[in-house]
Structure 1
Amino acid sequence: MKIKITIKSSNFENFTLRSYNPEEEDVRSMLMDICQFIEKQVDFNISGFGQDNWPVDSGIDLAVFLEQLPDAINLVKKRNTLAIDLYEQGIERYLKISAPDINSMHQIACTSYTSWKPDPEVEKIHNSELLEMLYIAKNTFIKILTELSPDIINHPWIVEWMRD
């Protein structure tokens, strides 16, 4: 399994951070707004389980992945079981990642809630490779945030999202 965010164009100007109501919204709202703004400038790719290019997009699916990314990184660092739920219509896949074994290998089980079936249903990845892949995705998105606006990178929700 591979997860990657690629910047196609670094022309991230003209983004204005709207005001958010903390009683009704959280970092997920902000991530969704940002991802919809950068959708055409960024590629979000996932591959594995017999499919080279999963039907994910940078506008919605990337935001869904990003909302789960900090917890996923922390759980991998702690060598715990974790899950990544790509729940949006069209992709609807659930990745259950086991705690690493004695050789630091995780088993990733993919469940599909569509007609697509993973083949194989389980893949293996080394703890260090998984952690590196997740950190690269996080750092790529932080680079995008930095280029978008200082208001974003300093927003308390984003500061919390970036924290390890």
Structure 2
Amino acid sequence: MEKLPSPSPLTDGERHDVSIDINSIFIIACERLEETGMVFFKMSGFGRDPWPVEVYPDLACILEQLVEAINAIRQDNYPFDLELYEQGTNKTIIFNEKKDAHTIEVKCRDFVPQRGDHYRGAWRPNPDKELVKKNDILSQLVELKASFIQIVQNAYPDLATEDLFIEWCKS
């Protein structure tokens, strides 16, 4: 995620009900960030650079799963998935540890199997698996979380002070 100048914070009249769950905060923040056009989310790999992802809804999908992914890598708890289930991307990224403890095999497949003429032009990962260094992917995920936290704290202090967000930041 590339960081650009922060958008202006929400005004008091724009308070949102974010008490449902942390995903509500992710959705609100990512919708606002998408509207500003000042923050970009980029993914690449599996023969495609860049992927057709956006801050909203795709980054919100990743944020829902981010803490679990970071913890899975740190605790060597494989396999685990990151799902980009929103229309347009519809991919599952599967992480499997390789025999050497420093490498992760990462596979990409369709979230929902694509069948029929409608999907003939859909992007298919090629290659469908890649090897990455465990520390590299862990660093990227940790940096993504840290960048998102900083942006929300700067741009939307009312969201950043929500108990659910503070708890997520500490996890």
TM-score when normalising by structure 1? 0.88
Structure 1 Cα separation of the partners of residues 52 and 30 of structure 2: 16
**Aligned partners of 2:103 and 2:132 also within 8 Å:** yes
More strand by share: 1
Q: Which residue of 2 aligns with 1:85?
A: 83
Larger radius of gyration: 2
Amino acid at match of 1:109: K
Amino acid at match of 2:93: L
Q: Which residue of 1 aligns with 2:42?
A: 45
Which of 106, 109, 118 in structure 2 is aligned with 1:108? 106
Deviations 1:67-99 (A, max 9, x none): 111111111111122210000000000000013
Q: Is the counterpart of residue 63 in structure 1 residue 60 in structure 2?
A: yes
Identical pairs, percent: 29
* 1:18/1:106 CA distance change after superposition, 3 Å: same
Deviations 1:127-148 (A, max 9, x none): 1111100011011101111102
Secondary structure of 2:42's partner?
strand
Structure 1 Cα separation of the partners of residues 140 and 59 of structure 2: 15
Secondary structure of 1:44's partner?
coil
**Aligned partners of 1:109 and 1:122 also within 8 Å:** yes
Q: Which residue of 2 aligns with 1:7?
A: 3
- 5+ residue gaps, structure 2, are 115-121
Report runs of 4+ in structure 1 exceeding 3 Å deviation: none
Root mean square deviation, CA, Å: 1.6
Q: Is the counterpart of residue 27 in structure 1 residue 22 in structure 2?
A: yes
More helix by share: 2
- Count of aligned positions: 157
Structure 2 Cα separation of the partners of residues 17 and 136 of structure 1: 28
Amino acid at match of 2:130: E
Secondary structure of 1:111's partner?
strand
Amino acid at match of 1:10: S
**Aligned partners of 1:80 and 1:100 also within 8 Å:** no
Structure 1 Cα separation of the partners of residues 160 and 93 of structure 2: 29
Secondary structure of 1:118's partner?
coil
**Aligned partners of 2:6 and 2:155 also within 8 Å:** no
**Aligned partners of 1:70 and 1:162 also within 8 Å:** no
TM-score when normalising by structure 2? 0.85
**Aligned partners of 1:100 and 1:127 also within 8 Å:** no
